[in-house]
Amino acid sequence: NNFKTNDVNYNREDFVTAKLESEFTKWFDNWQYNKTDTKVCVLFARLLRCSIDKKGKLKLNNFKTSISQDDVSSLHLDHMEPRSGAEHEKSSYFIDPDREFIINGIGNMMPLPGRINISKSNKPLKESFSYLEEAGLGDHWFVKKSKDLFFDNNNKGVPKKKFFQERKALIRESFYSIIKEC
């Protein structure tokens, strides 16, 4: 399973893994919200079926969680911080020159059942966690980590840019892990 190029020996599995990881990272880093893109919903649904073992590794649970694979197609990708907010409450929303790119990026996404996402509407990110509770996801390790990131990276309930960056890194690591290992 080795091959040689330019006098360097490569293990084919390492090469394929590196190529796939490179393609995944390129896709992930450039991903922006698209209502019809179900790939991210599928990855989130799979992530929500995983738990973390004592070594910090993701493992796919054998039991049914609150979101079945059949329900994935009815999931909405929620902008945790909405694309637009109430004009009279501007101080409750994230403001940044790169706001549109950040808000439409994967670090701001979370799947919610359609009816809950619609009722959430354009409420600020700090209110997102109560809707995740309503969806039955409040005790999930990923939601807890997202909540911890928010509490560590907000200013008076408004997320800082670092929240989205760190959450995106957590999602990248988690998605890659479930693709590779679960």
Residue 3 pLDDT: 47
Domain residue ranges of the chain, discontinuous segments joined by +: 1-30, 38-180
Angle, in degrees to the nearest 10, between helices 39-48 and 161-180: 80
pLDDT tens for 121-175 read: 999 999 999 999 998 899 999 999 999 999 999 999 999 999 999 999 999 999 9
User: How many Cα atoms occupy the beta-carbon half-sphere of 111 within 13 Å?
Assistant: 28
Alpha carbon separation from 129 to 19, 114, 151, 174 (Å, rounded): 36, 16, 11, 20
Q: Please name every residue paired with 78 in a beta bridge, in sequence order, or none if there are none.
A: 110
Per-residue pLDDT tens for 27-69?
A: 999 999 998 788 898 899 889 888 888 888 888 876 555 555 5
Of 136 and 105, the one with more pLDDT? 105
Reported as a pLDDT band with limits 50, 70 and 90, residue 181 is confident
Six-digit token string for 41: 């919903």
- Category of 77 on φ-ψ map: left (φ > 0), alpha (ψ -120 to 50) or beta: beta
Model pLDDT for residues 70-90, shown as the tens digit of each residue: 555 578 899 999 999 877 788
User: pTM higher than 0.85, yes or no?
Assistant: no
How far is Cα 120 from Cα 124, in angstroms, rounded to an integer? 9
Question: Is pLDDT larger for residue 23 or for residue 160?
Answer: 160
For the chain, report the end-to-end CA distance as a whole number of angstroms. Answer: 24
Query: pLDDT value at position 144?
Result: 97
CB contact set of 112 (below 8 Å; sequence gap of 6+): 75, 76, 78, 120, 131, 132, 135
Ramachandran class of 7: left when φ > 0, alpha when ψ lies in -120 to 50, beta otherwise: left
Interatomic CA distance for residues 98 and 3, integer angstroms:
44
Average pLDDT on 98-119 reads 94
